[in-house]
Amino acid sequence: VEKTITMELAPVLTGLALAGRVGANIAAELGSMKVTEQIDALETLGYDPYAYLVVPRVLAGTIMFPLVVGIAMVVGVVAGWGASV
């Protein structure tokens, strides 16, 4: 169970969940901001929309993904242990 969880299941399933859920959420939020012209307002005020909107989200995802995978590994191994006992 430990090898299966740590090598395959936890990273793949966590990546799928984060890509699907978080990626769709970010795309919807940025799309909504484009439609309501909030991104144009940022450009008018002199802000770089990529640096202001995209970089923090990518940085947060890059930092948090290993933590979430680690938590998924621990939960998976503990659940496998509980099921085997």
pLDDT in tens, 40-64: 999 999 999 889 888 999 899 889 9
What is the model's pLDDT at position 71? 93
pLDDT at 75 over 90: yes
What is the model's pLDDT at position 23? 87
Cβ-contact 1, 81 below 8 angstroms: yes
Cα 66 to Cα 74: distance, rounded to the nearest angstrom: 12
What is the model's pLDDT at position 61? 87
pTM (2 d.p.): 0.75
